[in-house]
């Protein structure tokens, strides 16, 4: 009988479910708004985007507290507020107020199709399933792809060390065939 009573109390206490945790408001340094003023030359930094609930790169103009030097710092500080963007539905966002942002093509992960697909982002709002580059989408969401044939053919990154290009095979979803391609040996 004690076990039953304790179980019921646990279920009735708000905030105990994982779903409730995501509804909690973002707090502290992670909740600070995006800095909008420039006081020094711009550099690449990272910030927690409250709307998308994820850490992302940001061109920082030198003023403001909501900025992190590395993605790792941002994730360690704000990761408790993050949602897995790959599991979120399509959200095209909203049309921005004047001077706030502009519509542009972006990429999102379609969980059912197991593909990163392009969509028209309206410029403001939306959710974390919203990537500037297709490659960023694949890197973030590849863990949800069950078929290796779904991955795009990628020639690798430019290597800082001297490496030879390697001839490898990959599945081309357009031609529906395995094809040879050169890979840089990095990435």
- Decide: residue 77, CB within 10 A, 0-12 exposed, 13-18 middle, 19+ buried: middle
Q: Which CATH architecture has domain 94-146?
A: Irregular (4.10)
* Mean of pLDDT over the chain: 74
Q: For residue 9, is pLDDT > 70?
A: no
The string over 95-125, giving b where at least 16 C-beta atoms fall within 10 Å of a residue's C-beta and e elsewhere, is eeeeeeeeeeebbbbbeeebbbeebebbbeb
Question: Are 45 and 57 in contact, with CB atoms under 8 Å apart?
Answer: yes
Give the pairing of strands 94-95 and 177-183: unpaired
Domain extent listing, the chain: 28-82, 94-146, 153-187
Calculate what percentage of the chain has a pLDDT beyond 70: 67
Q: What is the pLDDT of residues 141-174, one digit of tens each?
A: 888 887 766 666 666 666 666 666 776 666 677 7
Is 186 in a helix, a strand, or coil? coil
Q: For residue 17, is pLDDT > 50?
A: no
| pTM for the structure as a whole | 0.51
pLDDT of residue 113: 87
| Of 17-21, 34-38, 67-71, 106-110, highest mean pLDDT | 106-110
More confident residue, 32 or 165: 32
Q: Domain spanning 28-82 has what CATH number?
A: 4.10.410.10
pLDDT bracket for residue 7 (50, 70, 90): very low
């Amino acid at each position: 009988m004690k076990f039953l009573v304790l179980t019921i109390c646990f279920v009735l206490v708000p905030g105990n479910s994982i779903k409730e945790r995501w509804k909690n408001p973002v707090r502290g340094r992670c909740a600070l708004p995006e800095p909008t003023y420039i006081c020094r030359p711009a550099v690449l930094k990272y910030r927690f985007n409250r709307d998308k609930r994820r850490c992302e790169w940001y061109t920082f103009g030198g003023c403001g507290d909501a900025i992190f030097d590395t993605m790792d710092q941002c994730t360690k500080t704000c990761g408790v507020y993050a949602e897995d963007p790959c599991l979120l539905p399509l959200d095209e966002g909203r049309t921005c107020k004047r001077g706030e942002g502009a519509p542009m093509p972006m990429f999102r992960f379609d969980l059912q199709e197991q593909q990163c697909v392009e969509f028209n982002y309206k410029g403001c709002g939306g959710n974390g399933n919203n990537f500037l580059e297709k490659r960023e989408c694949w890197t973030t969401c590849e863990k949800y792809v069950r078929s290796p044939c779904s991955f795009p053919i990628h020639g690798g990154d430019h290597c800082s060390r001297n490496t030879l290009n390697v001839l490898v095979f990959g599945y081309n979803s357009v031609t529906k065939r395995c094809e040879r391609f050169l890979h840089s040996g990095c990435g």
